[in-house]
Structure formats: C-alpha cells, structure tokens
C-alpha cells in the first residue's frame, strides 16, 4: 500500500460545502474521515459525494450504546458503502459481535462489500491521570488499550483505533493482519492541539500503525497539498 493511501485526512468541518472545498484542494488524498459533526450536519449526502469522487471513507461515529441500537446503526451505515466504521470496544463483546454481523447483513442487502468494523480502545484525548482518577480504571493506559484491542479481535473485528504510543505493544500481541488506526499523529513542525498521546508520522508507522489519521497539520496549513506531500516524504525517508 502506498504511503499516501495510508493517511486518512479528517473532514472536521461543519458543512458539506466546506468539506467538498477541502476535498477539491487535496485531490491527492484518497482516504477521508467523516466524523460526528459533519455527518450530523450534512447527513449521508457527504458520503455519496465522496464515493462519486472514488474516495475511500472512514465513517468515524464511535458508536456506543446497547447492543441492539449499535447493531441497527451499523446495519444502516454499512449500506452507505463506507470502508471503515468505528464503535467503542467498551460497549462489550455482545455489542461488538452484533455490530459485525449487522454490518455484514446491511451490506449484503444492497450487494456491496461490508465495512471493516474498527473498535475504539481509548480516546487519544485521555491521558493516564484521567484514566485513573476520572474514569477510575486501575489498569495502566497501555494495558487498558491492549485489553480493549484483544476484546475487539476476539469478537472478529478488523482492527482498532489506538494512540500511536500504544501501537508497538498492540502490534506485538495482535499480529500483523490486525489493523491499527492511529490518530494523535503530529509532525514535529505541528502543534499537539488536544491530542495528549501524539507521535510523529514516521515513528507511528515504525511502531506498527496501519493507517494514520492526520488532520490539522494538513487541513489548517497555509498550503494543505504541500503539507500532505511533506508528511508523505517524511514517512518515506
């Protein structure tokens, strides 16, 4: 897989118009993330627009509810033809298994390939102190992420979202075929923003990331296309 195809750029904007303007500015980007804000504001229309442009889609809704509700949402989302769809591992094994089966059913209903269901281990905005003192989780941060990833793998899911700082430990245990989608990736020349557990793109790839989610260093740059190319070059060196 080419380096450029392993970088997912978030469409973290408030409208379909803004999203499509960004897509037009970055024609070399093949994989786009549609998150909660854009999906809620524009609906599935943005997904159709991306598919018309032959783009891959990461529908990052981070579903977390009772199993029946999550499964229904996955069944519906699978019919849009997205490539990756996120759910929260903390919903439990029953929910994860039901989501996988529902996505397969939903895709089969319309004769397309089902999305890969990717479980969120722990948001990259959560640091070790917050995990221990706010969420009252006694495990070390990496151990907690690993347990959530193992639960996802045992449930038949295709991969997880994890911080690049946990990627090496997860890759060692989970094997080479399990997808690791890593947000919180920041080149040295970009700020961390609200990401508490970040890493450079090259280091994240070396740690075992399958895909890197890189937003503001690209989308907020004065020249987004040049920033994207610079990141690709840094990874390739």
C-alpha span between 216 and 147 (Å, rounded): 30
Question: By the 8 A CB rule, do 185 and 199 touch?
Answer: yes
Residue 51 appears among annotated catalytic residues: no
SS3 227: helix
**Tokens (6 digits) for 186:** 């920041």
Q: What is the pLDDT of residue 230?
A: 95
Q: Mean pLDDT per 10-residue run, the chain (237 residues)?
A: 96 97 97 97 97 98 98 98 98 98 98 98 92 95 97 98 95 97 88 63 96 96 95 92
* Whole-prediction pTM: 0.94
Point out which residues pair with 84 in neighbouring strands: 58, 116
Residue 191: the pLDDT is: 62
Specify the DSSP element, H or E, that contains 150: helix 141-154
DSSP 8-state secondary structure symbol assigned to residue 7: E
Q: 51, 55, 62, 93: which is the annotated catalytic residue?
A: 62
Determine the pLDDT at residue 188: 82
Q: What is the pLDDT of residue 125?
A: 87
Topology of domain 3-236 in CATH is TIM Barrel (3.20.20)
Q: Considering all CA atoms of the chain, what is the largest pairwise distance in Å, rounded to the nearest integer?
A: 47
pLDDT at 37: 96
């Amino acid at each position: 897989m080419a380096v450029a195809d392993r970088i997912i750029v978030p469409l973290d904007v408030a409208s379909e118009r803004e999203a499509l303007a960004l897509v037009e500015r970055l024609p070399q980007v093949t994989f786009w993330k549609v998150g909660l804000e854009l999906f809620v504001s524009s609906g599935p229309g943005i997904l159709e627009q991306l598919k018309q442009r032959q783009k891959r889609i990461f529908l990052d809704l981070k579903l977390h509810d009772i199993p029946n509700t999550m499964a229904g949402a996955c069944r519906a989302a699978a019919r849009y033809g997205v490539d990756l769809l996120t759910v929260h591992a903390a919903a439990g094994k029953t929910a994860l298994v039901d989501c996988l089966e529902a996505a397969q059913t939903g895709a089969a209903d319309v004769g397309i390939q089902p999305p890969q269901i990717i479980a969120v281990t722990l948001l990259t905005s959560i640091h070790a102190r917050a995990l221990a003192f706010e969420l009252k989780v006694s495990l070390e941060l990496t151990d907690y992420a690993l347990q959530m990833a193992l639960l996802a793998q045992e449930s038949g899911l295709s991969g997880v979202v994890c911080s690049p700082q946990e990627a090496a430990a997860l890759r060692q245990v989970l094997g080479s075929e399990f997808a690791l989608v890593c947000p919180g990736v920041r080149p040295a020349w970009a700020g961390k923003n609200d990401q508490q557990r970040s890493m450079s793109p090259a280091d994240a790839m070396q740690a075992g990331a399958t895909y890197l989610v890189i937003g503001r260093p690209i989308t907020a740059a004065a020249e987004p296309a040049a920033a994207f190319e610079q990141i690709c070059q840094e990874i390739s060196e």
